[in-house]
């Protein structure tokens, strides 16, 4: 292109427009395709590349098609024919389809069968659809539901020879529902069959209609997809060994309903890289999976620890496990027996472990990690509550995460907001240095136990003591105590800031979370207080023994954290004012998110006017910084 090409012509380059479309969300893409025919043709593939019937305007459209509502929206053109037309015209662009509504399943299957316009799917995911949504199936049956018991041994109609005498659905007590489920079932599997050459990811859900038994034809269908590498089963129990025998290309597997309570696997299956099992998993089955999945990299388990006597040696033998990530997605590890079992029986089998997720890090587990897992990099605590209020806070042992900070040289992440580093740890003269100071990137934990003036009365006493010192008057005992308490707190805070300042690569520093009693607004006996005539619910105050984040307390020692991107202090008695915010804006150039100034969203909560003022000030200083609360930690497959 010539340098003299007018800028008005740049918008007429289809390749450039299509490239821009990669970075736009669907509402923006929808607006752009209406600019001109050129933009429409260039951006239409990006608009329909990913289609989810639970996003944008699709939920409203689909819900208005429910029987009893359709007559109110028919004049707007939102009909089943409209959805079918969308798939027939644009199905060739769809690569990722997520379905919750049966009408979407119907339309996609019809488009794939009639004109091959929806046959390039790379991912197909079905999530739970309740029974009422299946009333959208109006192709063959429009009569009222029959309450007569169904006694069919064969269900009609047959939409494809693919299902003749092969797939046997469960017959419901209602004849009507048997027919509806059978149609939904066939259409889904027809869609899978027509996309078998391109499908890479598939999620099965019970809402598509369960089978009496998973016959060989079921496994034939999955095996006919040569590129299918990721399978999620929320459908019905599978034969795990047979599944892996038929699918040597399967790398990622998620299962929500298979009970692996027997031998699990009989021989080595090297294809699996990541696996998530939410069903019951006995300890013996866990060790057998480690033995027969030699290339397993990430393992997510909803483990219920019950048997602590099982030893891995007789099961695993000399097998060298390559597992790099173990993620326990249940809260069954907070007891001492589980802590000792993980330390003595599990971690010695995992020399390559780098990531560990538990609901609680016990002292035995923390001590065993640097001994057995020399390359350990990340500990994540699974937070199962939405607040660190004492009513919900899991009781953890102080300073267990310090064992990792002191002994794991490659440590990059400590994401454990319910774990506490107590101030006594920092003030101990024999406290060793953090060996991971030059590698740690994320630190999320509480720092508690700091000596603070806890209430307004103590603050007034402290101020009176300063006045008496200035005019050379003797101090009362309570004034001497307030002075001592304040000085002790300042010394503690400077030690803590000095330790944190050594973490020069830190990107996330979060020392707090939602601290209020979030359930206080519900129930009959709501705690409340009055301001004038208005009544507000008392959700609790910020935690009093937390770190003060003022420049006077030593915040400026954190000027070394030049890489900091996320800073959180929810629940802290932080004493931040405008001068601290100005210092943060100037000192941390990469800062993009703050947690602690965002407005509250609880019922009958009194406005926090000082915090609102600070939020407005920070937005003027750095408008690009996002202000939001940190959600509880969830564990998902990579």
Which tens digit of pLDDT belongs to each residue from 288-300? 899 999 999 999 9
Integer CA distances (angstroms), 453 to 280, 323, 420, 460, 485, in order: 50, 49, 21, 10, 7
Look at residues 364, 357, 360 and name the one whose alpha carbon lies nearest to residue 340: 364
Which of the 8 DSSP states describes residue 140?
S
Q: Measured between alpha carbons, how far is 11 from 26 in angstroms, rounded to an integer?
A: 19
Q: What is the pLDDT of residue 140?
A: 33
Q: What is the pLDDT of residue 131?
A: 43
Q: What is the pLDDT of residue 146?
A: 44
Which tens digit of pLDDT belongs to each residue from 102-148? 778 888 888 888 878 899 999 999 887 544 444 333 333 333 444 44
Count other Cβ atoms within 10 Å, centred on residue 190: 20
The 10 Å CB-count burial string (b at 16+, else e) for 596-615 is bbeeeeeeeeeeeeeeeebb
473 or 442, higher pLDDT: 442
Most confident option among 102-111, 141-150, 223-232, 626-635 = 223-232
Q: What is the pLDDT of residue 590?
A: 97
Supply the mean pLDDT for the chain: 82
Confidence of residue 227 (pLDDT cuts 50, 70, 90): very high
Q: Is 322 exposed, middle or buried (0-12, 13-18, 19+ CB in 10 A)?
A: middle
240 or 130, higher pLDDT: 240
Q: What is the pLDDT of residue 74?
A: 46
Q: Are 110 and 160 in contact (CB under 8 A)?
A: no
pLDDT at 332 over 80: no
Confidence of residue 66 (pLDDT cuts 50, 70, 90): low
Long-range contacts, stretch 531-538, CB < 8 angstroms, 24+ apart? 531/606, 534/606, 535/604, 536/604, 536/605, 536/606, 537/602, 537/603, 537/604, 537/605
Q: What is the pLDDT of residue 528?
A: 83
Q: What is the pLDDT of residue 169?
A: 63
pLDDT at 72 over 50: no
Of 204-213, 366-375, 488-497, the one with minimum mean pLDDT is 204-213
Look at residues 545, 524, 519, 516 and name the one whose alpha carbon lies nearest to residue 449: 545
Q: Are 500 and 564 in contact (CB under 8 A)?
A: no
Q: What is the mean pLDDT of residues 149-171?
A: 62
Residues β-bridged to residue 275? 253, 299
Question: Among positive and negative, which fits the CA dihedral 497, 500, 502, 504?
Answer: negative
Q: What is the mean pLDDT of residues 258-267?
A: 70
Q: Are 583 and 558 in contact (CB under 8 A)?
A: no
Q: Measured between alpha carbons, how far is 280 from 286 in angstroms, rounded to an integer?
A: 10
Which tens digit of pLDDT belongs to each residue from 564-604? 999 999 989 999 999 999 999 999 999 999 999 998 878 78
Which of the 8 DSSP states describes residue 164?
T
pLDDT at 210 over 70: yes
Lookup result for tokens 């009569």:
143
Q: What is the mean pLDDT of residues 254-259?
A: 83
Which of the 8 DSSP states describes residue 543?
B
Strands 442-448 and 508-510: parallel
Q: What is the pLDDT of residue 141?
A: 34
Domain layout of the chain by residue ranges: 383-638
Most confident option among 8-12, 178-182, 574-578 = 574-578
Residues 6+ positions from 313 with CB-CB distance below 8 Å:
none
Most confident option among 173-177, 345-349, 391-395, 541-545 = 345-349
Q: What is the pLDDT of residue 77?
A: 57
pLDDT at 173 over 90: no
Which tens digit of pLDDT belongs to each residue from 87-97? 888 889 999 99
Most confident option among 130-134, 149-153, 435-439 = 435-439
State the pTM of this model: 0.85
Rg of the chain over CA atoms, in angstroms?
Answer: 30
Q: Measured between alpha carbons, how far is 441 from 509 in angstroms, rounded to an integer?
A: 9
């Amino acid at each position: 292109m010539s340098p003299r090409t007018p800028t008005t012509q740049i918008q007429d380059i289809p390749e450039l427009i299509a490239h821009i479309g990669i970075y736009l969300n669907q509402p923006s893409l929808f607006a752009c395709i209406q600019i001109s025919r050129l933009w429409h043709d260039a951006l239409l593939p990006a608009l329909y590349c990913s289609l989810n019937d639970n996003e944008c305007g699709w939920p409203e459209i689909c819900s208005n098609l429910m029987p009893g509502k359709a007559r109110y929206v028919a004049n707007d053109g939102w009909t089943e024919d409209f959805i079918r037309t969308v798939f027939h015209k644009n199905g060739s662009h769809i690569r990722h389809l997520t379905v919750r509504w049966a009408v979407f399943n119907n339309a996609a299957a019809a488009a794939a069968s009639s004109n091959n316009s929806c046959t390039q799917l790379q991912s197909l995911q079905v999530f739970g659809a309740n029974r009422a949504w299946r009333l959208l199936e109006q192709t063959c049956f429009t009569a009222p539901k029959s309450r007569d018991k169904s006694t069919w041994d064969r269900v009609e109609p047959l939409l494809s020879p693919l299902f003749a005498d092969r797939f046997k659905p469960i017959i419901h007590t209602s004849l009507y529902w048997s027919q509806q489920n059978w149609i939904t079932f066939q259409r889904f599997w027809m869609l899978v069959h027509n996309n078998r050459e391109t499908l890479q990811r598939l999620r099965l859900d019970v809402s598509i209609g369960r089978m009496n038994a998973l016959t060989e034809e079921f496994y034939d269908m999955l095996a006919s997809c040569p590129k299918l590498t990721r399978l999620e089963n929320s459908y019905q129990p599978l034969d795990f060994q047979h599944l892996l025998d038929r699918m040597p290309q399967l790398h990622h597997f998620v299962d929500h309903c298979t009970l692996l309570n027997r031998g699990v696997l009989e021989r080595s299956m090297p294809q699996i890289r990541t696996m998530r099992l939410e069903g019951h998993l006995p300890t013996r089955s866990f060790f057998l999976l480690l033995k027969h999945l030699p290339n397993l990299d990430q393992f997510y388990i909803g483990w219920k620890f019950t048997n602590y006597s099982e030893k891995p040696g007789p099961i695993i033998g000399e097998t060298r496990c390559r597992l790099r990530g173990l993620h326990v997605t249940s809260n069954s590890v907070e007891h001492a027996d589980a802590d000792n079992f993980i330390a003595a029986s599990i971690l010695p089998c995992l020399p390559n472990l780098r990531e560990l997720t538990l609901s609680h890090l016990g002292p035995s587990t923390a001590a065993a990690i640097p001994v057995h897992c020399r390359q350990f990099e990340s500990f994540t605590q699974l937070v199962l509550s939405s607040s660190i209020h004492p009513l919900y806070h899991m009781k953890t042992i102080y300073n267990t995460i310090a064992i990792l900070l002191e002994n794991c040289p490659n440590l990059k992440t400590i994401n454990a907001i319910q774990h506490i580093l107590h101030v006594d740890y920092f003030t101990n003269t024999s406290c060793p240095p953090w060996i991971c100071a030059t590698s740690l990137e994320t630190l999320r934990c509480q720092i508690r136990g700091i000596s603070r003036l806890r209430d307004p009365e103590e603050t007034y006493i402290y101020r009176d003591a300063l006045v008496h010192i200035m005019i050379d008057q003797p101090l009362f005992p309570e004034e001497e105590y307030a002075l001592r308490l304040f000085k002790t707190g300042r010394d503690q805070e400077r030690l803590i800031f000095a330790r944190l300042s050594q973490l020069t690569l830190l990107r996330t520093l979060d020392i707090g979370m939602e601290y209020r009693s979030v359930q206080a607004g519900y129930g009959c006996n709501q705690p409340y207080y009055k301001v004038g005539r208005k009544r507000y619910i008392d959700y609790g105050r910020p935690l009093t023994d937390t770190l003060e984040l003022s420049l006077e307390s030593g915040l400026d020692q954190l000027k070394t954290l030049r890489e900091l991107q996320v800073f959180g202090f929810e629940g802290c008695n932080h004493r931040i004012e405008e001068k601290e915010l100005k210092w943060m804006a100037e000192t941390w150039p990469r800062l993009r998110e703050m947690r602690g100034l965002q407005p509250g969203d609880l019922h009958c909560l009194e406005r926090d006017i000082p915090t609102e003022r600070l939020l407005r000030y920070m937005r003027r200083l750095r408008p690009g910084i996002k202000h939001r609360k940190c959600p509880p930690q969830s564990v998902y497959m990579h």
